Structure 1
């Protein structure tokens, strides 16, 4: 848009729009004193002499998920003439974030970026984004029907920094046919550690033990399910985390329980690749596993015609934990960069609002397997039909809604999360293989994570 055409069409908003443009380009959108780019009048995103406002959207959805993203982008682009979104696949989460780091603050940066949950602290510290709260407040956008347990992960100091996009949580998956063969009730899966161990032994006696992948995210979930934090300073939410508590008594007890089942041959150790664990499960070599709800569609399709798939909430240490803790949402959210003109940021916000509409959230959930972020999506016919056909997903919905929001279930936040997760996985591996005791393995991991936290904190405060 040229200054002349802008003046001609919106002379009454010149002062406000120019101010917003400068604020958006200042690189300080995350500061408390920045002016909301979203405060620009909606006219700022209308067609100009050079055409509609373009929004470049970087994402990490591959395969069928990319097709669903492209469907939603096309639907949005076809629905109006003011904004045109260009969705660009940038590889997996790690690859995409690495690419973003090389262009952050430059003209090559996207208008909008999908970032996985564990990249949230970096995005805030980068000072390269405009908090979503500014658009929400300026637009008086109503979030009352949104899933608060999902929003809370991306809320820091009472401010919504990004908008959830693809959201999941963990589930226990089990083979109902193998449960019956082992004399177990397929309609009553284990709910406590002791019940799980007993069931795993019976299944192992039939040649089909349990198996969990060595995945740091699952260990984090087992802690949150006990209402236990893995970092100090309220999981890094009341202040930047300075110490890892992954070696808490609860964590050591949980890893000891896991190792005991491996030692008893009630649990198979198939390594770190969740795909390997899923393949063994679908082949009937194991009877119980744990994975994300994002794997539900794949497991439903893979088990079709072979066995009846069951789902259950995460197992807790004992019945005393029934009303404690819950799950932390996983997945990714959408961030708007602050070095783009106000009109471009507003255009991205318009697309984000479109994605949040109930019909679009229902479409996304049905075709991707991820949660809708608004409860109104459950009133859409396609969503109702999907839950009727696949009641396994209802387990995940109930588990999410039964989770009480607190620092443990909001999830940990740290700038070195990917490295911390790898160190946790190394500790699990060392314990399960007998290289170290669970206590020593987690103590060592906590020490290394704490050092990396301190190094990171020093780097962002310099």
Structure 2
């Protein structure tokens, strides 16, 4: 797919080489090729039609948001930055703090129609630091439940309104599925990037994971989050699958319930077997549902080191195009992400969600949108790994005493935070 995208970009540029006095190249890097390659295949021709003298050179895709952050930090030192990068919503701050990301305000003020493009205020705030916009959200996701309804029928669930609304109900459904002979009834996305599902459990209780420089796993809500994970993993006898294997296994019809980001919906729909797929709201600790959920996804950031106004303007044109209007609409059509602006949602996609109810689930959860929090300081990636290892220990059975794990995680993470140094 990467070769295909590169070929498309090359052909588009070649087609205008003689039509324009100068072709400007914008280097672009993004994560998760399995999710987004098909999106950019749709966007590139639309962009080229509008800006035939701008070539988009695709760099090798980042493996994950952590990889995206690490790569940009290395490239900044080596002087090899792209012009535009896609970074996880929770990884923008470090690029701003280190002066790698450029403020977009100088470009925004020149756009007479910028406000009309209708960026959602809540989503735009995710890329705003010190009252300046540094990142425009490209794709926004929320956690949802994926259900193989053919398999769920074995547990007596035959309609969406019967799907579990709480984690206790999920565990009960796992038991029924196992009794019906289902070997792997459930996968819960503990290993999704950036400790996202830990934050989902914390926000479900209306508790941020970070409060200033304090990691709030040491609170009652933190312990409830750990205990909930233990109950799910044990009660559903969940296998410790690598996340790509989990998605493939669910798509193959081997898992009854999967709790994951809505981002993967397009990929699952394209690869799934012959079963009836339904999505539904993310369960809560109580029947009233979560009180909040973290916004996943990524934002486009300008990190170009060029001083040529024409090159910077070309980079801005690409950045703006992919995050507004037609570009954003293609995100919804080809993935499970939500577009970050009203122009895409309310005009271009007016009938889209009516005809694609599985993709509407996340939209219904928009009132729950909360920050996907970053870990402050230079050790953010190391903290992510410490928490990842702790949660994996619950999955594998290494950790069984949750108050003990709570204390261990609190101490290890706090030592890595600015207040602990």
The 3-state SS of whatever aligns with 1:129 is coil
1:183 corresponds, among 144, 153, 156, to 156
Distance 1:247 1:436, change over 3 A: farther
- Alpha-carbon separation, structure 1, partners of 2:347 and 2:117: 18
1:173 corresponds, among 133, 146, 149, to 146
- Alpha-carbon separation, structure 1, partners of 2:279 and 2:127: 27
| Structure 1 residues 370-409: aligned runs within 5 Å | 370-379=337-346, 383-384=349-350, 386-400=352-366, 402-403=367-368, 409=370
Partner of 1:25: none
| Structure 1 residues 195-344: aligned runs within 5 Å | 195-208=169-182, 209-215=185-191, 216-233=195-212, 242-263=213-234, 266-271=235-240, 273-305=242-274, 307-319=275-287, 324-325=291-292, 327-337=293-303, 339-341=305-307, 342-344=309-311
Distance 1:440 1:50, change over 3 A: farther
Distance 1:343 1:270, change over 3 A: same
Partner of 1:420: 383
1:361 aligns with 2:332: no
- Deviation at 1:107? 5.4
In structure 1, the gaps of 5 or more residues are 1-46, 234-241
Per mean C-alpha deviation after superposition, the further-off stretch among 276-285 and 221-230 is 276-285
Partner of 1:5: none
Contact 1:57/1:110 (CA < 8 Å) preserved in 2? yes
Partner of 1:429: 392
The 3-state SS of whatever aligns with 2:365 is helix
- Deviation at 1:182? 1.5
Give the count of matched residue pairs.
391
Distance 1:353 1:276, change over 3 A: closer
TM-score (norm 2): 0.82
Distance 1:174 1:412, change over 3 A: same
- Alpha-carbon separation, structure 2, partners of 1:58 and 1:282: 28
- Alpha-carbon separation, structure 1, partners of 2:273 and 2:145: 18
- Alpha-carbon separation, structure 1, partners of 2:127 and 2:187: 31
Q: RMSD over aligned Cα, in angstroms?
A: 2.9
- Deviation at 1:126? 1.4
- Deviation at 1:336? 0.9
- Deviation at 1:386? 4.5
- Deviation at 1:142? 0.8
- Alpha-carbon separation, structure 2, partners of 1:256 and 1:403: 23
- Alpha-carbon separation, structure 2, partners of 1:339 and 1:302: 40
In structure 2, the gaps of 5 or more residues are 1-17
The 3-state SS of whatever aligns with 1:91 is coil
Partner of 1:58: 29
Per mean C-alpha deviation after superposition, the further-off stretch among 119-128 and 71-80 is 71-80
Contact 1:213/1:269 (CA < 8 Å) preserved in 2? no
1:80 corresponds, among 48, 51, 63, to 51
Partner of 2:406: 442
Partner of 2:96: 124
The 3-state SS of whatever aligns with 1:317 is coil
Instruction: Encode CA deviations 1:31-79: one digit per residue, 9 max, x unaligned.
Output: xxxxxxxxxxxxxxxx9x9724432222234257225325423432332
TM-score (norm 1): 0.75
Contact 2:186/2:257 (CA < 8 Å) preserved in 1? yes
- Deviation at 1:164? 1.2
| Larger Rg computed on CA atoms | 1
- Alpha-carbon separation, structure 1, partners of 2:249 and 2:56: 41
The 3-state SS of whatever aligns with 2:218 is coil
- Deviation at 1:425? 2.3
The 3-state SS of whatever aligns with 2:279 is strand
The 3-state SS of whatever aligns with 1:104 is helix
Distance 1:378 1:144, change over 3 A: closer
